[in-house]
Amino acid sequence: MNTGLLRFLGVALVLLAVALAVIPQFTDCQSQGSMITLANGKVIPMKCHWTAMAQIALAVPIVLVGLAMAVRPRKMTSFWLGIFIMVLGLLPILTTTLLIGTCVTPTMYCNVAMKPVIFVLGGLVMLIGLVVTISSLMKSRNKV
**9: exposed, middle or buried (Cβ count in 10 Å: 0-12, 13-18, 19+):** buried
pLDDT higher than threshold 90 for residue 42? yes
Q: What does the pLDDT average to over 111-115?
A: 95
Under 8 Å between Cβ of 114 and 24: yes
- pLDDT tens per residue across span 78-91: 788 899 999 999 99
Q: What does the pLDDT average to over 1-22?
A: 91
pTM over 0.85? The answer is yes
Residue type (1 letter), 4 = G
| DSSP H helices in the chain | 3-27, 47-71, 79-94, 109, 115-143
90 or 142, which is more confident: 90
pLDDT higher than threshold 80 for residue 127? yes
Element (H, E) at 10: helix 3-27
Q: Looking at residue 104, what DSSP letter applies? A: S
Average pLDDT, the chain: 91
Q: What does the pLDDT average to over 88-98?
A: 96
Res 90: pLDDT: 97
Under 8 Å between Cβ of 68 and 88: no
pLDDT higher than threshold 80 for residue 139? no
